[in-house]
Amino acid sequence: MNSISQLPDTAAQLPMNGAVLAMLRCPLTGQTLRREGSFLSSEDSSNRYEINELGIPLFAAQFCSEDARIQQSHYESIASAYIDNLDYPHTKEYTEYLDTAFLAHLDAGQIRQAAEICCGRGEAFRLLEDRVDSGMGVDISASMLVSAVRELPSRFAFVQGDATMLPLADGLFDAVFMFGGIHHVNDREKLFSEVGRVLRPGGKFYWREPVSDFFLWRWLRSVIYRLSPVLDHETERPLQYAETIAPLNKAGLRLMRWQTYGFLGFCLFMNSDVLFFNRLFRFVPGIRTITRFAARLDDLTLRLPFLKRAGLQVVGVAEKPASPDSA
C-alpha cells in the first residue's frame, strides 16, 4: 500500500461542507469547527487540526490516549497485510455468514445519520451502505482510512480520532456501529460514555466483537495474543458479558441483545492474520463451500442451550432511552 503522502493529487477528498462540519466538534473543548485552508480550527482558535492529502482531519495527531497511540502505531504498520487477509475466499465466506447474522439484529428502516467508531476501512458502512443516508467514520489509523475514503461514496466522511474522545457532536446520530473496535479499548467506561453522548435519545449502539465468556477461548486467546506479532495483549481484550453491562449502564445505555456466533469453524477460517497455515486454505478447491458448511455447523452448535454464550463473536445492541426515566 502506498503511504498517504505518496497518493496522487487526484485522490478522493473529504467534502468539507456544512453537513460534514455540523457532525464534528473539537474533541478537547466541544466547540464547533471551521475550515481554515488545510486546517480545522475551533471557534475560539485555541485548537487547530491538520487535514491531510486525502482530506482526512487528523484529530489524533496532537493528542490521544496511550492505548490509542499503541494501536495507531500497530495498525499503521500492518494495514496492508490486514486488508489482504480480509480478501481470502474462506474469510469472505465466513464473514458473509457473520454479516447476515448481524443484519438480523438491525432495526428495520432507513438510518438518517450514523457513526462508525474504530471503523478501519468502514466495514459497517460497506455492509449497510444503502441503509444509511450519511455517516461519519472515526479511526485512530489514518492508513486504515485510505481504503474507506477512496472506495466508499462521498456521503460517508472519515476522520482520524481517539474513540475515548470523539470529535463528534452531541446527540446527533441515530446509530453508532463498532465492528471489532471495542476490544481494542481498555477504558470501556469512557468509550461507552462517548457513544452515549453522540447518540440521540432513542438511538441504538450496535457492535460485533470478539467475546471470551467460554473458558476455552479465554485460555487460547491468552496464549495467542502474547505470541502473535499482529496482536497486542496489553491493548486488546475481548468482551465478557459480566464486565460489559456496568459501563454500558453507567453511560446511560440499556442492553437489548447479546448473542454469540462462531465456534470451531471460526477458529479455522477467520484467523488468517494470526494462524499462518490458515492462508493456505485459499488454494483448497471448494473452500467456500467447506467454509459455508463449517459456519452452519457453528450455528447449530451454539443453538445448544448450554453453549449459547460460548461463541467467539458477539453481536450486541444497546439503546439510549428516549427519556432518562426509561433508562
Span 32-55, pLDDT tens digits: 999 998 999 999 999 999 999 888
All structural domains of the chain, each given as residue ranges with its CATH number in brackets, are: 4-326 (3.40.50.150)
pLDDT at 285: 93
Task: Give the Cβ contact number of residue 306 at 10 Å.
Answer: 6
Question: 199: which strand partners?
Answer: 173
pLDDT at 67: 78
pLDDT at 108: 86
pLDDT at 280: 83
| Residue 205, amino acid | F
pLDDT at 3: 40
pLDDT at 6: 40
Q: How long, in residues, is the chain?
A: 327
Percent pLDDT > 70 in the chain is 84
CB 271 within 8 A of CB 264: no
**Which residue ranges in the chain fall short of pLDDT 50?**
1-13
Task: Give the Cβ contact number of residue 282 at 10 Å.
Answer: 15
* Distance from the Cα of residue 230 to its chain's centroid: 17
Q: Look up the pTM and report it.
A: 0.90
